[in-house]
Amino acid sequence: MTANRILAREGVVDSFGHVSIRHPDRPDRYLLSRARAPECIEAGDVMEFMDDGAPVDAAGRTPYAERFIHGAVYAARPDVQAVVHHHSPSVVVFSVSAAQLSPVMHMCAGIGTRIPTWDSRARFGDTNLLVTNLAMATDLAAALGQRPVILMRGHGCVVAGMSLREVVFNSIYLQLNADLQIKASALGDVTFLTDGEVAAVLRTRSAFTFERAWEYWCRRAGRPYDGRPMEGPLAGTT
């Protein structure tokens, strides 16, 4: 619920977009809301799915038609614990442009470099662009590969990570990086982070960075902050 409310508050999702976590005890399952706008989601909306998209117990609730994205990523990436699919406007802009999104700022290094765009049309032709079956979702997950982010042409993106805090963090800073790059491109050539810099940020980033942001976003979204004890080294804090 909190992740959904934060993404809504920060403008990453509107009526659409969704966030899931892998089931803590059953790695072949994941938890995801029923089909509802993120801002409106309540505890009773959270459903459990098999990784092929079948609901464990729908109890009359309508699932997201695009839930297959989540299952395909969890199946392909054992390291991934959380997934966001969203349509952040600034990110969509890069999905319909030849300009390549890449980090321009240290806080955005977690999005990966030279982010590719998956085009549903390449393999599936003229569709409604929705990833509503396992074939499309598997193709998308393959294009994602070991990356944290992939764009979807004329649609949005997928963000995959090790925790809910990480995918929310990377979703928000992905949106910021897109904003920055649009503005900087209008001024002329853009200096991107080097691959060595991106690697250095990822190597030194700690859970504490995600915690600090999480506390802030909880406050903005009007959600209680659960004050989880800080984990990991502090070297990557700013």
37 in contact with a second copy (CB under 8 A) = yes
Which stretch in 13-21, 45-53, 72-80, 158-166 sits in contact with a second copy by CB under 8 A?
A: 13-21
45 in contact with a second copy (CB under 8 A) = no
Which stretch in 22-30, 63-71, 74-82, 141-149 sits in contact with a second copy by CB under 8 A?
A: 63-71
58 in contact with a second copy (CB under 8 A) = no
Q: Which of residues 102-131 bind a second copy (CB under 8 A)?
A: 103-107, 109, 121, 125-130
DSSP state, residue 18: E
57 in contact with a second copy (CB under 8 A) = no
Q: In the block, which residue shows the tokens 């464990």?
A: 56
CA proximity to 174, closest of 186, 154, 157? 157
Cα separation, 215 vs 147, in Å, equals 26
For residue 186, with 0-12 CB atoms within 10 Å meaning exposed, 13-18 middle and 19 or more buried, which class applies?
exposed
Residue with Cβ nearer a second copy (48 or 197): 197
Cα separation, 3 vs 225, in Å, equals 11
Q: What end-to-end distance do the CA atoms of the chain give, in Å?
A: 28
Bridge pairing between strands 149-152 and 117-118: parallel
Q: Which of residues 141-180 bind a second copy (CB under 8 A)?
A: 153-155, 176, 179-180
CA proximity to 59, closest of 39, 34, 40? 34
46 in contact with a second copy (CB under 8 A) = no
Q: Least distance from C-beta 147 to a second copy, angstroms?
A: 20
Residues with catalytic roles? 66
212 in contact with a second copy (CB under 8 A) = yes
Q: Which of residues 66-95 bind a second copy (CB under 8 A)?
A: 66, 87, 89-90, 92-94
